[in-house]
Structure 1
């Protein structure tokens, strides 16, 4: 996400969604594997300092998810040649084939697919939450996000006339339900196009789709506890009535759609939602996701960026471990490290 973009809010342990590895792929490659990373701020490490100064407009961390994946695979003698990491905070699926506007006088980010080549052998992508409109959904449910505290989160609520306290009911029927249905239809369409673009640009590449870590735990009572350091509750002022909705009707539904599309495309799906339920933003010192309005370590343009529910350093590392093992298993036929 750019300095004006956030959240992103990018999901195997292979869930049996990947086809069986071929005998040719069952051993470690003898040469480095040309690899490209596509994605949003969850891949890019939004909120993690220090920020890569050459990628300030995308708020990309110097050490992000691709770095962890590379290191973990190297421990299994699977060596990546990361030819490009074009993850950018706020990126939607369409920004794989369209340029991404970054706001102000900042030049747009070119379509992410420009880095795909015929030589690319592995493509790891983490996108979908921004296409769904997760930021707009959160603003629909939060008065604080509708104010200055949400200025770095792009777009506004879906319907300013509907109160944040009523957001779960708003999305359950009528205009809100119709809007959400259309957003899921767009995600489905764009995921199909994502895999088509990868196949067209890099026909020899194996695709890996990384899902998103879980935001609301099954035991929602854990989200009532104040964050360490007194930064408020993990989900800020989002009403408790909306917590199950955000989990089951938004995130679990997105996770299932991503898994389905990956399976159809013959890609590996990394189910971070299933792997992270025990350490969400609602788990105190053990949290792997920064709280909704919890200050992150990143300050740009004299503004302290909130986490907006992105993985923190611990989350980056654990998500990277999970993704690396999914790649080792689903792409290279390796068992657990």
Structure 2
């Protein structure tokens, strides 16, 4: 009788262990072996120490993809992000600020790639240059509101361009978990500060509207292609250029800190944390 009770107890323990392992099979933390990061300067993070010139792409070794790869313990990370990149430059050769031609970013993709992040779109038709680069160089007021119609036309074409880009990535790396990474919130909800280019109230309103529409189109493109979206716009609330703890540099750049109107180290840290939390969870079911 004692032996039978002992056998029953052992079988009960084994049954609990087996059922437990079956129940937790879908909840295991994902792992990644080959990660490819693609994007523009908001991915490359120029001059966020330490910097890799990369033929004019100006990739920081402290950008969010590098931090994310280290945090996730990825065996192989290939960073193809490049300052100034447009959606066209993911599939075509890009001419960089140093006059070099770099290979299409998608050439880094393989069938074995199991993680891809993409941060792209703001440079299409020189959108961000019109908003930021031109404005910070002007000694007069930057009349953004006068270009509102043009900005709308550019943004109308963004979603189809992103859908085509993501579709190309899906075809080249069908096993990959793909995340489209949004841009941060750049201006405060209201008001002005010395770190911003000179703009009228209506110009700042236009800047805010373009910033919001940009990330809305990215989110819609992610939905349309069935990939994940990382909402950095929402996460960066309270860390705009004028904030006490900004995540984006002001209109005056610093070659040892960050390029003008581009990501700061604090923002890259925060985005890496956001993505790590998202990617440690199993991908959402369609």
- Residue correspondences, number: 261
2:279 aligned with 1:318: no
Helix, strand or coil at the partner of 1:37: strand
Deviation per residue, 1:122-146 (Å, 9 max, x gap): 1111111111511113356x3x524
The structure that is helix-richer by fraction is 2
Deviation per residue, 1:106-157 (Å, 9 max, x gap): 43011000001111111111111111511113356x3x5247xxxxxxxxxx
Residues 1:332 and 1:52: Cα distance change in structure 2 (over 3 Å): farther
Once the two structures are TM-superposed, the CA of residue 244 in structure 1 deviates from its matched residue by 1.8
Residues 1:165 and 1:56: Cα distance change in structure 2 (over 3 Å): closer
Name the structure 1 match of 2:227: 267
Once the two structures are TM-superposed, the CA of residue 188 in structure 1 deviates from its matched residue by 1.5
Helix, strand or coil at the partner of 2:256: strand
Please report the TM-score for the alignment, with normalisation by the length of structure 2. Answer: 0.83
In structure 2, list runs of 5 or more residues that go unmatched.
1-23
Residues 1:296 and 1:238: Cα distance change in structure 2 (over 3 Å): farther
Residues 1:138 and 1:32: Cα distance change in structure 2 (over 3 Å): closer
Alignment map for 1:98-247 (pairs within 5 Å) = 98-103=92-97, 106-131=99-124, 133-138=127-132, 142=135, 144-146=136-138, 164-168=141-145, 170-172=146-148, 177=149, 179-218=150-189, 220-221=190-191, 223-224=192-193, 233-247=194-208
Residues 1:287 and 1:103: Cα distance change in structure 2 (over 3 Å): closer
Name the structure 1 match of 2:69: 70
Name the structure 2 match of 1:52: 52
Deviation per residue, 1:265-302 (Å, 9 max, x gap): 11110111111111111013x1111102243416xxxx
Once the two structures are TM-superposed, the CA of residue 167 in structure 1 deviates from its matched residue by 2.6
Greater relative contact order structure (CA < 8 Å, 6+ sep): 1
Asked if structure 2 preserves the Cα contact closer than 8 Å seen for 1:51 and 1:62, the reply is yes
Please report the TM-score for the alignment, with normalisation by the length of structure 1. Answer: 0.71
Once the two structures are TM-superposed, the CA of residue 25 in structure 1 deviates from its matched residue by 6.0
Once the two structures are TM-superposed, the CA of residue 242 in structure 1 deviates from its matched residue by 1.3
Task: Tell me how far apart the structure 2 counterparts of residues 244 and 214 of structure 1 sit (CA, whole Å).
Answer: 13
Helix, strand or coil at the partner of 2:94: coil
Task: Tell me how far apart the structure 1 counterparts of residues 124 and 25 of structure 2 sit (CA, whole Å).
Answer: 36
Task: Tell me how far apart the structure 1 counterparts of residues 66 and 213 of structure 2 sit (CA, whole Å).
Answer: 29
In structure 1, list runs of 5 or more residues that go unmatched.
1-22, 148-162, 225-232, 299-305
Query: Cα RMSD (Å) of the superposition?
Result: 2.4
Asked if structure 2 preserves the Cα contact closer than 8 Å seen for 1:268 and 1:326, the reply is no
Which has more radius of gyration?
2
